[in-house]
Amino acid sequence: MDVKGRDSVGGLPKSIKINSKEISSIIYTLEKHPEQIEQIIKLIKQGKIDQKNAESIANSLENKPKQTMEAIKLAELGIIEKGKITEIAKTFQSSPKKTRELMKIAKELKIKPDNLAEIMMGLESHPTITKKILRLAKEGKVNKEEITQLIFDVRVNDYEKLPQALKLAEEGKIKPEDITGTAGTMNSVLKDYAKEIMEINENKILIGTSGWGYDEWVGPFYPRSLKKEDYLSYYSEIFYTNEINTTFYNIPSKLVVTRWRDKTPSDFLFTAKLHRKITHEHKLDINLCLNDLDYFLESMSPLIESKKLLGFLIQLPPSFNKEEHYDNLKDFIQNWPGNPEQEGYNLIIEFRHESWMDDDVFKYLKRNSLTYCAVIEPLLPPRMDVTNPKFAYIRFHGYGQKIWFNYCFKEEEIKKWASSIREVVQKVDKIGIYFNNHFSGYATKNSLMMMRELNLDPRKEPKQVRILDIKKKSGTYSRGQTGLDKFLN
């Protein structure tokens, strides 16, 4: 039947061919949803809606008009295929946020909507590795045509092998088209090699916070039943590293440092900030500060001797500028009493005056294997110069209006900085990343966010740490608490 003119069926446009069986559904749609019918007819003319779907679209418009119209808009844009409108409308209704996210992915990567169900299942069951596949696809390191197959392999076939193959592709060791084959046919030698790469990378990127002894972290991070002397034990059940902040204010006794060593796992690593008397009061003047430095290094010897010290952070004050104090810095480094290379630690320089952002300074740091401390803060530009190929260092201070550290980095900021960090990682043996935005527990939250963004796992998730185990280790456990353990978190 060829409907001509606008008087035939409630004002349909000219030359729309309608099968006799479909007239009732079109009339039904016209009666129930006259304001939408022009949209549907337009889509039929454009070939984006099959006439045979008119009845199902009519029903969908009646039951979920808002979601159906969203799906129709996507069909207009060519993001979803004809025949999928009612199906997409259902998913909009049940999982609107996830569906919009998937539609965005489909648009960016030009993935057929038929394949979105597999991506959704991957995001639900294996979010980290699925997001990595999507990221590598955007970077051209995974073929877009193979995205759903790879996610299926993650979920069903080669979960243990595929992350290793993706890692090799990310590093350019295999081509995108070889990922599936490599994951499926890895021989024992290649499996061991890939495993070794993964293990090296986990030890290569260390992420933690500046300090651990903040009472304001009780609630946001530490359980309320945890005693202050157990903070470090709890912290080290989750993170692999910490930048000791208290050493800037007070030089601890060897006994205290020994306790820090013993309270943490054997593979836990520290960095320690030099005492302020050395850096801020004496401004590295060797005629004034060497005795204090000797005393400081002696107090830190338990960490040095146990190889649990990554490095010393030499944080310089804003008043320490190149014109007046460059010689102080050079003399101080030249007269350093220890042997960093032999003893297995690094010297890290954090500037706080813009006069140091100079090519001559960075050449000096490189010549002396000194690690430049990149800073994310309002005062200095966020340079990511690598001056020591063995070790890089980044401190996230924040952008708080009154106090820098009173700042929580948002997810989009973490993603942005993670991209820069990945470039640095390729140039060094090891990198330490520390969040100093300690207000309200922001530092722990952002550290875990950065770990996930870089596809790193914490030692344990916070919810997996048992307070009873912490108390037993520290000797603060008393009998009768076992039955209460489940309430302690």
92-150 pLDDT, tens digit each? 666 666 666 666 776 676 666 556 667 777 777 777 777 888 888 778 787 777 777 77
Tell me if 299 is assigned to some domain. Answer: yes
Same domain flag for 90 and 168: no
Same domain flag for 230 and 350: yes
Whether the Cβ atoms of residue 194 and residue 165 lie closer than 8 Å to each other: yes
- Confidence tier at 471 by pLDDT (50, 70, 90): confident
Q: Which domain holds residue 132?
A: 114-186
Average pLDDT in the 215-230 region? 94
- Does 322 have pLDDT greater than 50? yes
Res 401: pLDDT = 78
| pTM summary value | 0.61
Same domain flag for 454 and 321: yes
Res 46: pLDDT = 67
Tell me if 196 is assigned to some domain. Answer: no
- Of the listed ranges 40-44, 121-125, 258-262, 275-279, the least confidently predicted one is 40-44
pLDDT one-digit tens code per residue, 370-416: 999 999 988 888 999 999 999 999 999 988 877 887 899 999 999 99
Res 343: pLDDT = 95
Tell me if 74 is assigned to some domain. Answer: yes
- Does 230 have pLDDT greater than 90? yes
Q: What is the CATH number of the domain that holds 299?
A: 3.20.20.410
Question: Taking the C-alpha atoms of 178, 183, 185 and 189 in order, what is their torsion angle to the nearest 10 degrees?
Answer: 100
Q: Which of 186, 210, 236 is the last residue of a domain?
A: 186
User: For the chain, what is the domain count?
Assistant: 3
Same domain flag for 182 and 211: no
Tell me if 195 is assigned to some domain. Answer: no
Tell me if 159 is assigned to some domain. Answer: yes
Same domain flag for 43 and 125: no
Same domain flag for 153 and 262: no
> What share of the chain in percent tops pLDDT 90?
48
Q: Which of 157, 186, 215 is the last residue of a domain?
A: 186
pLDDT one-digit tens code per residue, 445-467: 999 999 999 989 999 999 899 88
